Amino acid sequence: MSTTITLTINGTERPVAVELGDSLLEVLRREGFTSVKHGCDTGDCGACAVLLDGDAVDSCMILAISTDGRAVTTVEGLETDGHLHPLQQAMIDTGAVQCGFCTPGTVMTGIDLLSRNTDPTQDDVKTALAGNLCRCTGYVKQVDAVLAAARQMKGGPDA
Amino acid sequence: MPDPVDPRRFAVVGHNEPKVDAYALVTGKPVFAGDASSDGALHIAFLASTHAHARITSIDTSRAEALDGVSLVLTHENTPATMYTTAGQGFPEPSPYDTRMFNPTVRFVGERVAAVAAETPEIARAATKLIDVAYETLPAVLSIDEALAPDAPIIHGEDEATGIHDAARNIVSVVDVDIGDVEAGIAGSAVAVDTTCETQYAQHVPIEPHVVRAYLDNDGRLVLLTSTQVPFHVRRIVARVLDLPVHRIRVIKPRVGGGFGVKQEILLEDVTGLVTLRTGRPAVAELSRPEEFVSSRTRHPMRVRVRLGATDDGTLRAVAMDVISNTGAYGSHGLTVMSNAGSKTLPLYNRAPDVRYRGRTVYTNLPVGGAYRGYGATQGYFALETAMDELAVKLDMDPVEVRRRNHIRVGETSPIFAAIGEGKPGVEQTVGSCELERCLDIGVEEIGWADKRGARRRDGPWVHGVGMSIHMQGSGIADVDMGAATIKMNDDGSFNLLIGATDLGTGSDTILGQIAAEVLGVPLAKIVVYSSDTDMTPFDVGAYASSTTYVSGNAVRRAAEQARAQITAVASAMLEEDAGGISLRGEAAIGASGNRVTLEEIALRSLYGSDQEQIGATASFVGDESPPPFLASFAEVAVDTETGQVRVVDYVAVADCGVAINPHAAEGQVEGAIANGIGYALTEEMLISGHGRVRNPTLFDYKIPAAPDLPRIRAILVDSYEPTGPMGAKSVAEIGINAPIPTIANAIYDAVGVRLRNSPFTAERVLAALDAVASED
C-alpha cells in the first residue's frame, strides 16, 4: 500500500511516495540520492548513514513512513556555491578515500560529530565512526580527515 | 644499496596527488554499478541449497512462474551445461572446470539452485520460495580430514569436470618441490622446529557486495556493467558460458566498492546476462550481505606445517612446508592459492640449501575458496613466521636477529622462484631491490623493541608483549599476465590515458595517470584517465596478484615514452633542433637551446597543421620477473589474562615497495591491509554448523574491525628503487595482510608465553591456551 509523505531532502521539500515497509534508504535511492549506499540492510555497516533532522542515522533502519515532515541531508546536499564541505575536502586531501563506497556515510557521521564537538580528539573521532565500517583504509586517514576538517572549520592552522 | 636515482627528482610521481576519482566519490555521484538507473529492469533473486551435498531429483518452478510479476525462472534444466571455472584468471585458467551455471548436484549450503527474474526485488525473492525442489541427500565432507579419509564421499565424481588432479580422492591439485634433501638437512641441524598452524574460513567483506547490471545496446550486444576486478576475464568466461562470440559482449567496470580478490570471480555476470538475453530487458543482480558471505567466495582455510633446521648461530639449513588447502565445493583458485603459500614465502629465507614444499588442495562440502588479498601467502606466513619465532626462542636469540641472518638480499635468488609458478613453473629472478634491513631498523626503533620485548609490562589483568614478522610478495605473475595502455594527445596538449587496468578503490587510475604525466611533462590534471571498458580500452588481466603498479604501470610508461618520442619529433621540426636534445616539462618541449614550444602548439600542428597524425601509442607489458616488495611488521599487544581478550596497542608496518608513486595511496594500501589482517587475526571467522551451514553471515555476527578496535596503524615507506619497475615502483597492495596473524601470535607469546596456532585468536582460544599452560604448571 502506497502513501505519500513530505520530506525535506537537502533543503528542498518534496512529496515522496512510500510503501509501508520501505526503509528510508530505499526511498532515498529511489529518489535519486544514490550516495546513500546499500551495504548490509541490518544497520551494521553505516554506508547508508544520513542526517535526519541533523542527527546521523542508518537510513536502512528507519521506516520511511516514520519520517513524514522531517529533514534529511545527504552528501549530495553538502556542496555550497561550488565549494565542498570542509570534511569532503579533507577526505580528498588526506587520501582518506579509497574505494569510496563508505565515504558518503562516513562524511555524514563525521559532520554529525563536528556539529556536536568542534574540537574532537582522535579517540572521539574513532568512537563516532564506530558504526561506519571501512574495509580499505584502516581508518587512519579517515580519522585524520575529520581532525583536519575540525581545524579548518575553527579557522585553525590548516585553514 | 638503493639505486642512486632520487625519487625527489620526479615532478608528479612521488607526490600525494589527489585521487582522480575523489571528487565524484566524496560528492556521491552515481559511479557504482548499483547506482545506475534500474528503471525497466528485471531484478534477480537466488534460491540457495539447504543441503551440503545433494542431488536434485526434481525441481518444479511452475508456482514461481505463475506469480504475478515473475518473468523468468532459471535452473539447471533450462541453462547451459557448459563446464567452466568462476576464477577470473588468464587463459587457460589454472583452475578446474568443475561447475556449470546451475549444478544438478549441489555441493554446499548456499549454492545457487535457481534464479528468478521479476519486476521488483520483493517479487523475485517471494518467487524463490515457491520453487519446489526435491533433493536426494548425499554424505557430506565437512573438513580437510574427512576429505582425505580413505573412504571419503567423492565430491566431484561427474564425468564432465576437467582439470581435477584426483577427483576420486577429492584432491584438486598437487605441488611437490624438492631442493636438496630436506630430511637430511633437518636431521643434521643443531636445532629443529616443527610447527603446524591452521587458518579459518574468512570473507573479504567489501562494503559494496557483488552487483551487476546487464542490458542490450542498440545493436543487440550484451552490455555488463559490473563490480569486477577482471573485466576482460568476465567477457571471455561469460562468452564461453553463454555461447556468445566475445565481440557480442561489452563489459564496463565502473567504480568498484572494494574487492580484495572476491571480485576476481565470475559470479553474477553469467546469470544476469542470460536473463537479459532471454527477455530482452535490462536486469540487475545484487548479492545480499548474507549471500556475499555464504555464496560468493572466501579465503581458503589451510593447515600448514613448517619444519626448520638451523645451525646453533641461527642460520637456516633446511625448510620444509606442507600445506593442505580447503577449496570448499569448487576448485576456484585452488591450485594457485595453494602454490602461493610456498612460492611467496619460501624465497624469503634463501639461506637454506635444503627446501621442500608439499601442497595439496582438497574439496569439501563447504563454502568456496577464492582469491583473497595475500592469496595463500597469508596462510603460509602464519606457520613460517611462527616457526621462525619458535626457532628464536629455542636458540635464545632475538627474533629480529634470526630474521636478519636468513632473509634474502639484493643480488640473491632462490630456487623456489623458478620451481613454483601459477599453473606452470615460475621464473628465475634475482632480487633487484630489498631494503628489509632498513625496514627492520625502523620497526625496531618505532615499536620500542629493545625495551618492550620480554618485559611483560602489567597493567591490571593486561600484560603487554611485542611481536614481529617479515614478509615478501610479488609484483604480478611473471610470464603470464599482461597489461596494456593507450595514450592519445588532444588539441590542448592534454592526453587520454585508456587502460584495461582495473581500479577497485586502490587508486590505480591515479597512479597510472601520474606515471603518464611524469613521462609527458604535464600535471596530472592534463591526463584524462579512462579505465576498464572492454570496448574502449586495451586489454589488461585486471587487478590481482599485486600487478597493477608494476605490470600496467610499465605498460603506461612504455606507451607514454612512445608518445613522447612522437611529440619530440614534431617539436624537433618546429624548433629546428635535434630531437635528442629535447625534453618535455611544464607542458612544453624544450630544446637544448632553451627554445620551447608548448604541447598545445604541437598538438594543434599534428592535428590540423602539417604532417598530420594522431600522436599516441599503445604499449603492452608482461613481467619477465615479479619483483617482491618487502615488509617488516611489529606489534605491541595487551592480553587480558582474566578474559583472554587481545588488544593491539600499537602497530608498525615498514614497507619497501620501491618508489611510492603516490605515498598516500601506498600508505593506504598498507594501513588497510594491516587492518584487515588484524581482523583476520583476532575476530573474523565464518562459523559453520555440523551440517555445513554458515551460522554468522551478517556484519553483526562476523566482526570486522571498526575504528575503535584498531590502534593508529603506522605505515612507513622506506626509500627504495626497483630497477625494473615504472619509475622504480613495485607492488604494495597485498603484502600487509600477511603480517598481523604471525606478528600478533608472536606478540601474544612474548606477553603471556602461549603459542596460538589456530586463528583467529579469540578471547576463548587465548583463555583456553592460558588455562592449558596453567594446568601444566
Sign of CA dihedral B27, B31, B35, B38: positive
Give the model's pLDDT for residue A130: 98
Q: Are B284 and B44 within 8 A, CB to CB?
A: yes
Give the model's pLDDT for residue B627: 97
CB nearest to A41's CB, from B22, B289, B708: B289
Query: Is-cis flag, bond preceding B760, omega within 30?
Result: yes
Give the model's pLDDT for residue B38: 81
Counting residues of chain B whose pLDDT is more than 90, the rounded percentage is: 97
- Amino acid at position B613, single letter: E
A122, closest residue in chain B (CA to CA): B712
User: Which of B425-447 are b and which e, b meaning 16 or more Cβ less than 10 Å from the residue's Cβ?
Assistant: ebbebebbbbbbbbbbbbbbebb
CB nearest to B698's CB, from A42, A99, A104: A42
Cα B549 to Cα B648: distance, rounded to the nearest angstrom: 31
Look at B664 and A141 and tell me if their CB atoms are within 8 Å.
yes
Q: What is the pLDDT of residues B204-219, one digit of tens each?
A: 999 999 999 999 999 9
Cα B290 to Cα B274: distance, rounded to the nearest angstrom: 24
Residues of chain B neighbouring A130 (CB-CB closer than 8 A): 706-708
Give the model's pLDDT for residue B1: 36
Task: Count the residues in chain B.
Answer: 777
B665 and chain A in contact, CB less than 8 A: yes
C-alpha cell of B31?
Answer: 559511479
Q: Which residues, in sequence order, are CB contacts of B475 under 8 Å at separation 6+?
A: B546, B547, B549, B550, B551, B623, B626, B627, B628, B629, B722, B725, B730, B731
Determine the distance in angstroms separating the CA of B278 from the nearest CA of chain A, rounded to an integer. 26
Q: Where in chain A is the domain with CATH 3.10.20.30?
A: 2-77
- SS3 label, residue B528: strand
Determine the distance in angstroms separating the CA of B649 from the nearest CA of chain A, rounded to an integer. 13
Q: Which one of A97, A123, A141, A142 makes the best mutation probe of the B interface by having the most chain B beta carbons within 10 Å?
A: A97
B490, B470, B576: which is closest to B530 by C-alpha?
B490
A47 and chain B in contact, CB less than 8 A: yes
Domains and CATH numbers, chain B: 7-31+482-622 (3.30.365.10), 38-138+207-295 (3.90.1170.50), 300-473+625-776 (3.30.365.10)
- SS3 label, residue B556: helix
End-to-end CA distance of chain A: 51
Residue listed under C-alpha cell 624438492: B178
A127, closest residue in chain B (CA to CA): B708
ipTM confidence score? 0.97
Average pLDDT on B584-604 reads 97
Look at A99 and B698 and tell me if their CB atoms are within 8 Å.
no
Burial degree of B569 (CB within 10 A; 0-12, 13-18, 19+)? middle
- Amino acid at position B258, single letter: G
Q: Are A120 and A128 within 8 A, CB to CB?
A: yes
Give the model's pLDDT for residue B677: 98
Q: What is the pLDDT of residues B309-334, one digit of tens each?
A: 999 999 999 999 999 999 999 999 99
Q: Edge-to-edge, what's the strand order for the sheet holding B105-106?
A: B105-106, B54-60, B132-137
Q: Which residues, in sequence order, are CB contacts of A116 under 8 Å at separation 6+?
A: none
Cα B305 to Cα B654: distance, rounded to the nearest angstrom: 27
B331, B380, B343, B335: which is closest to B360 by C-alpha?
B335
B258 and chain A in contact, CB less than 8 A: yes
B296, B246, B240, B261: which is closest to B84 by C-alpha?
B240
Residue B729 — very low, low, confident or very high, per pLDDT cuts 50/70/90?
very high
Determine the distance in angstroms separating the CA of A54 from the nearest CA of chain B, rounded to an integer. 18
A86-153: CATH topology: DNA polymerase; domain 1 (1.10.150)
Average pLDDT on B426-431 reads 95
Q: Edge-to-edge, what's the strand order for the sheet holding B211-216?
A: B70-74, B112-118, B42-48, B283-286, B211-216, B222-226, B249-252
B619, B504, B534, B537: which is closest to B236 by C-alpha?
B534
Residue listed under C-alpha cell 546513500: A36
Residue A157 has pLDDT above 70, yes or no: no
Q: Are B339 and B375 within 8 A, CB to CB?
A: no
B27 and chain A in contact, CB less than 8 A: yes
B228, B214, B315, B312: which is closest to B267 by C-alpha?
B228
Q: Which residues, in sequence order, are CB contacts of B106 under 8 Å at separation 6+?
A: B49, B51, B53, B54, B56, B113, B135
Q: Are B97 and B77 within 8 A, CB to CB?
A: no
Give the model's pLDDT for residue B4: 44
Residue B7 has pLDDT above 70, yes or no: no
C-alpha cell of B89?
Answer: 584468471
A127 and chain B in contact, CB less than 8 A: yes
Which residues share a beta bridge with B583?
Answer: B590
Q: Which one of B16, B23, B25, B26 makes the best mutation probe of the A interface by having the most chain A beta carbons within 10 Å?
A: B26
Q: Are B547 and B483 within 8 A, CB to CB?
A: yes
Q: Are B683 and B205 within 8 A, CB to CB?
A: no
Cα A28 to Cα A44: distance, rounded to the nearest angstrom: 19
C-alpha cell of B180?
Answer: 636438496
Cα A58 to Cα A65: distance, rounded to the nearest angstrom: 15
Cα angle B210, B215, B218 (rounded to 5 degrees) comes to 155
C-alpha cell of B12?
Answer: 608528479
Cα B359 to Cα B341: distance, rounded to the nearest angstrom: 9
Strands (E) located in B296-430: 298-299, 302-310, 316-328, 354-363, 369-370
Residue A158 has pLDDT above 50, yes or no: no
- Amino acid at position B413, single letter: T
> What is the residue-wise DSSP string for A85-98?
-HHHHHHHHTT--S
Average pLDDT on B439-467 reads 98
Q: Are A70 and A32 within 8 A, CB to CB?
A: no
Residue B6 has pLDDT above 70, yes or no: no
Residue B3 — very low, low, confident or very high, per pLDDT cuts 50/70/90?
very low
Q: Are B117 and B70 within 8 A, CB to CB?
A: yes
Q: Where in chain A is the domain with CATH 1.10.150.120?
A: 86-153
Residue B9 — very low, low, confident or very high, per pLDDT cuts 50/70/90?
confident
Give the model's pLDDT for residue B774: 86
Please tell us whether the domain made up of A2-77 is placed in CATH 3.10.20.30. yes
- Model-wide pTM > 0.95: yes
Residue B2 has pLDDT above 50, yes or no: no
Residue B771 has pLDDT above 90, yes or no: yes
Q: Are B625 and B751 within 8 A, CB to CB?
A: no
Q: Which residues, in sequence order, are CB contacts of B528 under 8 Å at separation 6+?
A: B490, B494, B495, B496, B497
Give the model's pLDDT for residue B776: 79
B465, B472, B470: which is closest to B449 by C-alpha?
B465
Q: Are B731 and B483 within 8 A, CB to CB?
A: no
The pLDDT mean for chain B works out to 97
B36 or B231, which is more confident: B231
Query: Is-cis flag, bond preceding B92, omega within 30?
Result: yes
Q: Which of residues 25-44 of A touch B (CB under 8 A)?
A: 33-42, 44
End-to-end CA distance of chain B: 50
Give the model's pLDDT for residue A159: 42
Helix (H) or strand (E) holding A71: strand A71-73
Look at A141 and B671 and tell me if their CB atoms are within 8 Å.
yes
Residue B188 to residues B185, B193, B316, B624, Cα–Cα distance (Å): 5, 13, 11, 37
C-alpha cell of B711?
Answer: 590502534
Average pLDDT on B141-163 reads 97
Cα A73 to Cα B506: distance, rounded to the nearest angstrom: 28
Sign of CA dihedral B475, B480, B481, B484: positive
Residue B597 to residues A11, B524, B579, B583, Cα–Cα distance (Å): 50, 20, 13, 11
Task: Count the residues in chain A.
Answer: 159
A97 and chain B in contact, CB less than 8 A: yes
A77 and chain B in contact, CB less than 8 A: no
- Amino acid at position B174, single letter: V
> What is the residue-wise DSSP string for A121-141?
-HHHHHHHGGGS--SSSTTHH
Give the model's pLDDT for residue A156: 61
Helix (H) or strand (E) holding B597: strand B596-598
The neighbour count for residue B599, using CB atoms within 10 Å, is 26
